[in-house]
Amino acid sequence: MTHLGSGATIDNSKPLYLCLISVHGLIRGEDLELGRDADTGGQTKYVVELAKALANQPAVGRVDLLTRLVDDPDVNQDYAQPLEDLGNGARIVRIEAGPRGYLPKEALWEHLDSFIDNTTRLFDEQQQLPDLLHSHYADAGYIGSRLSHILGLPLIHTGHSLGRVKRRRLLASGISATEVEERYRMSRRIEAEEMTLASAERVITSTHQEIEEQYELYDHYQPEQMVVIPPGTDLTRFHPPQGGEWQTHIAAELGRFLREPERPIILALSRPDPRKNIAALLTAYGEDEELQEMANLVVVVGNRDDIAELDGGAQEVLGELLQLVDRFDLYGKVAYPKHHTADDVPLIYRLAALSNGVFVNPALTEPFGLTLIEAAASGLPIVATEDGGPRDITANCQNGLLIDPLDPEDIALALKSVLLDWEQWQQRSVLGLQGVREHYVWNAHAQRYLEMVLPVVAKTAPPLVRTARGRRPMLYHDRAIFTDLDQNLLGDKKSLAELVSLLRKNRKCVSFGIATGRRLDSALKMMKKYHIPEPDVLITSGGSAIHYAPKLTEDTAWTRHIEKQWTPQLVRRVLNALPGLQPQPRVEQSHFKISYYIDPEKAPCLDEINQLLHQEELSVNVVLSFGQFLDVLPIRASKGLALRFMATHWGIPLERILVAGGSGADEDMMRGNTLAVVVGNRHHEELSQLEDAERIYFAHAPYAAGILEALQHYDFFRSCQLAEPDGSAR
């Protein structure tokens, strides 16, 4: 048994297998390119150090950090390696998702379902599932939620920053709502965050302010499930000066900017992001001659060769910095080096501490403020924005002052207050060192983390989806066709007969499945009427029931899997009173599917309906089909989730499953690694966002003829591959 700080224990006979997920940015074990762009910042460092810290705990046997594989000539080839060992059972696992080149996080949304499917395949191949998933940021939250729903694994989430908070800030800055949506895919992000909050067993925050002022903006706000565990810092890297710092390369690099380099250093270190508010710091320094006489200003904002090659936000920050240096004639007083390495960063902090300087973080908003902890660990007093994490850090460390980041005069006053009082400077330096050791070291973080997750893992039932290689419904079946029923198979008897004949001809290698919103009895009635042969798999009621041939055996494991958190009577209580919603006949309802007709002219929009359900803490999946049918299912149920459950159970790769659909109810079947087709009569606007997806074919022919067209397009029965525009297979 391993004893944790709270008195809790962990059974070492089964060491924990933890899986962290952080998708965007560039992640590697050493020499992180912090500040390279807006996506490679504090979060990338946090997840790597968290993985290492957890792996050092005796109770933990294995830690996987999943991120996206990037194979791009413009970035280091380290990011193209599928595996990277971090030591002590920790490793980075890079998953293919979408094009192999580097993409900003706003462009990743369309490829996250492939990340999910490839991760599920990884777990299948290794024949071991993690005990816990831990997602970081909204994109990984989407991935973690879906994996949790598919595999029945508990999910922990850390937001790092939140979409609703960012959206408010962007609108307040004068950016239009349309531009916010186009640039940041904000509605997709917020939708993912709401789903993650509905799915997660616990949410880890760095500060109480995140819970009280940021997560409170969300419909699925559940403060009792949120735990404050501040991140740690590596005291072997960040520590007070030890001598020799002035003889380093980075000291010489800073010195070439400064007329009197021996003066105290006011240090700012961040990404070149407008939110970091570096312009206000330059203005505060430039407008205060006393402060200029007192100290030099060192601003380290990422690396650059040519400002013109940076992204728009970074260009704005660097351009404004240079303009302000010129406007206030600060040459010889301000250093702004073009390059620094990860190993230079601790040295820069120590140089500032040696000079009896101060670290300043003037950000407009700061969810935590890891640089403040690194500065404190280096013996530097701090001046920081009054927003967010700095409140908790200064309360714990008693080593600095909070400022209004919008008031340059307040910034200058606080800096002078710290620099002028030598005795208090020393006291703040010592208190900061003590505070970091007590509150912000990784070992303490990892122990508190395990205290939090141990009860979550202990109460979680063994996952229902434990795959075994070689399991097949029939010995040689290695591919499958799944289709919706009504508007895919019904409507053209001739093409339906052709499709049925083709399926029978290939029945030795192909499984046939139907996925429909109809109940089982209704689906069977329609199949009999139109002479559709009994499928190998019948997914009914929108994905909330699975039956297998030849005796329509119900998959009771799936039923147990989806019943978690399902409270249909509460759903009806919320929705039955809404205008524009009329319950469908009882024949269309089931225990796990609540169905309505929806009048878009009278009913609330889908976002408002979700909001009402979330506010009642109802974790559900709301599906709109053809703009007129609304189904509410358990959060773990959908056609796509049921399909993946079945595929994993039978061992059929998703890449060898052709899915035919055409409404919002089919979307999650069609995303990811499946081959998909929208038949010609079903090009509904609900799927318009999928028109550019690589693995979704929009057929010209209607009904079953469209499925036949797709079978030829994908060369399904021969190679099951995507077809090139010229018709050749690849």
pLDDT digits (tens, 9 = 90+) for 471-501: 444 445 789 999 999 889 988 999 999 999 9
Residues of the chain with CATH 3.40.50.1000: 468-564+636-730
pLDDT at residue 468 is higher than 60: no
Q: Which residues contact 107 (CB under 8 A, 6 or more apart)?
A: none
**Which CATH number applies to 245-440: 3.40.50.2000, 3.40.640.10, 3.20.20.300, 3.30.70.890?**
3.40.50.2000
Residue 724 has what pLDDT? Answer: 45
Please give the residue that has the higher pLDDT: either 50 or 718. Answer: 50
pLDDT of 687: 72
What is the residue-averaged pLDDT of the chain? 91
Tokens describing residue 329: 């004639």
pLDDT of residue 484: 94
pLDDT at position 387, please? 77
Residue 469 has pLDDT above 70, yes or no: no
pLDDT (tens digit per residue) in 372-408: 999 999 999 999 999 778 999 999 999 999 999 999 9
| Amino acid at the residue 408 | P
Reported pTM: 0.84
| Integer Cα distance of 687 and 625 in angstroms | 10
Q: At 702, is the pLDDT very low, low, confident or very high (cuts 50, 70, 90)?
A: very high
Rounded to the nearest 5 degrees, what angle is found at the Cα of 459, between the Cα atoms of 453 and 461?
A: 120
Q: Does 3.30.450.40 match the CATH number of domain 468-564+636-730?
A: no
pLDDT tens digits along 152-183: 999 999 999 899 988 987 887 788 999 999 88
Q: Which amino acid is at 518?
A: R
Confidence at residue 726, expressed as pLDDT on a 0 to 100 scale: 46
Q: Give Cβ neighbours of residue 645 (< 8 Å, ≥ 6 apart).
A: 150, 465, 546, 555, 558, 561
pLDDT (0 to 100) of residue 473: 47
Q: What is the pLDDT of residue 728?
A: 46
Q: Which of 558, 526, 552, 525 is nearest to 538 (CA)?
A: 552
565-635 folds as Hypothetical Protein Ta0175; Chain: A, domain 2 (3.90.1070)
pLDDT at 723 over 50: no
- Classify strands 226-228 and 265-269 as parallel, antiparallel or unpaired: unpaired
- H/E stretch holding 60 reads strand 60-68
- pLDDT, tens digit, 9 for 90 and up, residues 109-136: 999 999 999 999 999 999 899 999 999 9
Is residue 470's pLDDT more than 50? no
- Parallel, antiparallel, or unpaired for β 545-548 and 553-554? antiparallel
- Answer yes or no: is pLDDT of 720 > 80: no
Whether the predicted pLDDT of 150 surpasses 70 = yes
Q: Flag whether pLDDT at 4 surpasses 80.
A: no
Q: pLDDT tens digits for 437-450?
A: 999 999 999 999 99
Calpha distance 264→416 (Å, rounded): 11
Query: Please, what is the Cα angle at 484 between 479 and 487, to 5 degrees?
Result: 135
The set of residues, in sequence order, having a beta carbon less than 8 Å from that of 311 and lying 6+ positions away, is: 37, 38
User: Which of 333-347, 559-573, 687-701 bottoms out in mean pLDDT, i.e. has the lowest?
Assistant: 687-701
The residue among 213, 95, 114, 115 whose CA lies nearest residue 159 is 213
- Span 247-260, mean pLDDT? 96
* 200 Rama sector, left if φ>0, alpha if ψ -120 to 50, beta otherwise: beta
DSSP string, 210-279: IIIIIGGGSTT--GGGEEE----B-TTTS-S--S-GGGSHHHHHHHTTBSSTTS-EEEEE--S-GGG-HH
pLDDT attached to residue 472: 43
Place of tokens 């008195």: 7
- Give me the pLDDT at residue 535, please: 94
Q: How many CB atoms lie within 10 A of CB 488?
A: 27
Q: Note whether 393 and 366 are within 8 A (CB).
A: no
Q: Could you tell me if 365 and 390 are in contact, meaning their C-beta atoms sit under 8 angstroms apart?
A: no
Average pLDDT over residues 688-695: 74
Identity of residue 162? L
Distance (Å, rounded) from C-alpha 232 to C-alpha 208? 16
Report pLDDT for 97. Answer: 96
Residue ranges matching CATH 3.90.1070.10 in the chain? 565-635
CATH code for 2-232+443-459? 3.40.50.2000
Q: What are phi and psi of 84, to 5 degrees?
A: -140, 120
Report pLDDT for 424.
97
Count of residues for the chain?
730
Q: In whole angstroms, give the CA distance from residue 682 to residue 54.
A: 49
pLDDT value at residue 462: 75
**Through-space distance between the first and last CA atoms of the chain, rounded to whole angstroms:** 54
Predicted local distance difference test score (pLDDT) of residue 465: 53
What SS3 class is residue 595? strand
Buried b (16+ CB within 10 A) or exposed e, 181-220: eeebbbebbbbbbbbbbbbbbbbbbbbebbbeebbeebbb
Axis crossing angle, helix 408-420 with helix 422-439, rounded to the nearest 10: 100
Distance of CA 146 to the CA centre of its chain: 11
* 250 CB-contact burial (10 Å; exposed 0-12 / middle 13-18 / buried 19+): buried
Q: Which residue has the higher pLDDT, 243 or 25?
A: 25
- Whether the per-residue pLDDT at 466 is higher than 60: the answer is no
H or E element that contains 494: helix 493-505
CATH 3.40.50.2000 residue spans of the chain: 2-232+443-459, 245-440
